[in-house]
Structure 1
């Protein structure tokens, strides 16, 4: 499925963010942990229809699996409680710890899945443009843009440096010690390259009158559609229904 043609990807960035917030709030409104865990497969389905299923799944597994498992084990063994379900030597799993571990990790999975989905189906330039349209200062939006692009740019520059090391005959693949030994010499050009790119970016921004106190114009345009308004209304109604249902319980 083409990411550019999918209905979900064509939504306005604020509408996508509203979907993300709705999923996060629903995880805390609905009692228990079953629904919160279910948000991950819900996000997978949405990512599939947006054409980003593979990227979302890889990122969700890499970002969530280790953290969730670590927190779950930690809470099971060290959360205070009296109802012991299993014990061995100084270690014991208590029912209170198990219930709290399920509750905590379910909320982490729900919130993280929703935000990973948001950044997988939303282009950074679309997000920045929508924030500027809301009235956020251009300096603030630039800080957000730079922060979101920092890690991908550093990763790309690292690959370029490592490829350059390979062409010089430096061994960069193999055992962990070999890779660590090859990575250390890349730190200096990586830091210097980042500083140089920052200076180039400053000159580029000033040449485009970034700091000028005038209203900026943009060739790039985004517009809200009737579908955006419909989705926002449906999500708002859904939130009201969930709140009323929770209060009634």
Structure 2
């Protein structure tokens, strides 16, 4: 656990209540403003957790580009009668804009909440929390390996590209040049990945991973009183929003 940081020290299931709450609540509250407000809320939480820069980078580099693309496509292809803007055969209708706002707001809310969850929750904590509720250690390890696979492959490919560059291989330039430079990387990348998998399997067996019996861990998680309070509070808040949806917004 992170000493001195209240948010990072929360139990994984408590942290997971945030994306769960966001995913459910955006369908209870009508309109798109509430869903859009989930992004600054997540950034605020990430700021207090010391992860704001990482979250903003993920949102700007990946999420916003995807959302902007979906917004434009949905605005153009959605049917409607009242034209908001037109240019040649392309026309954006007011109904399409409203649908785009509704769809993209939900995507931003859910994606930002889950991005925040994985930024403030180490994968090893997720794995241990799953084991505590009865999940097989082998299955929980598969989850860890899945999350770690892409970053490891990315880092390994960068190292190989730098090695190729130091040998005089042209790795920068136009798209065709980069594609040609990437082909020699595939062989070492695949072989190093296979070697890494074998080494990991040997390391697991030396630590009695497949042995039958109760497993212990150096990383001990503790569910504190504040975790129960937060979980109950979020359930109560969701109930209030549901009642509001039924009695006020219908």
Q: Normalization by structure 2: what TM-score?
A: 0.93
Partner of 1:236: 235
Partner of 1:169: 168
Is 1:103 aligned to 2:102, yes or no?
yes
Counterparts of 1:89 and 1:173 in 2: how far apart (Å)?
39
Counterparts of 2:56 and 2:101 in 1: how far apart (Å)?
21
Counterparts of 2:111 and 2:191 in 1: how far apart (Å)?
33
Alpha-carbon displacement from aligned partner over 1:190-245 (angstroms, at most 9, x marks no partner): 11111111111222222222223322122221101111112112111211111111
The SS at the match of 1:116 is helix
The SS at the match of 1:86 is strand
Partner of 1:64: 63
Closer, same or farther: CA 136–37 of 1 in aligned 2, 3 Å:
same
Partner of 2:113: 114
Is 1:217 aligned to 2:216, yes or no?
yes
Partner of 2:188: 189
Counterparts of 2:93 and 2:35 in 1: how far apart (Å)?
22
Query: Deviation of residue 4 (structure 1)?
Result: 4.9
The SS at the match of 1:148 is helix
Q: How many residues align?
A: 247
Unmatched 5+ residue regions in structure 2? none
The SS at the match of 2:9 is coil
Unmatched 5+ residue regions in structure 1? none
Query: Deviation of residue 86 (structure 1)?
Result: 2.5
Alignment of 1:39-188 (within 5 A): 39-188=38-187
Alpha-carbon displacement from aligned partner over 1:1-35 (angstroms, at most 9, x marks no partner): xx653211110111000122112212221110001
Closer, same or farther: CA 69–224 of 1 in aligned 2, 3 Å:
same
Query: Deviation of residue 175 (structure 1)?
Result: 4.2
Counterparts of 2:62 and 2:119 in 1: how far apart (Å)?
13
Alignment of 1:7-46 (within 5 A): 7-46=6-45
Counterparts of 2:76 and 2:139 in 1: how far apart (Å)?
43
The SS at the match of 2:85 is strand
The SS at the match of 2:16 is helix
Closer, same or farther: CA 38–240 of 1 in aligned 2, 3 Å:
same
The SS at the match of 2:103 is helix
Counterparts of 1:220 and 1:109 in 2: how far apart (Å)?
33
CA RMSD for the aligned pairs? Answer: 1.5
Counterparts of 1:4 and 1:50 in 2: how far apart (Å)?
11
Counterparts of 2:217 and 2:51 in 1: how far apart (Å)?
28
Q: Normalization by structure 1: what TM-score?
A: 0.94
The SS at the match of 2:216 is coil
Counterparts of 1:64 and 1:220 in 2: how far apart (Å)?
32
Query: Deviation of residue 85 (structure 1)?
Result: 2.4
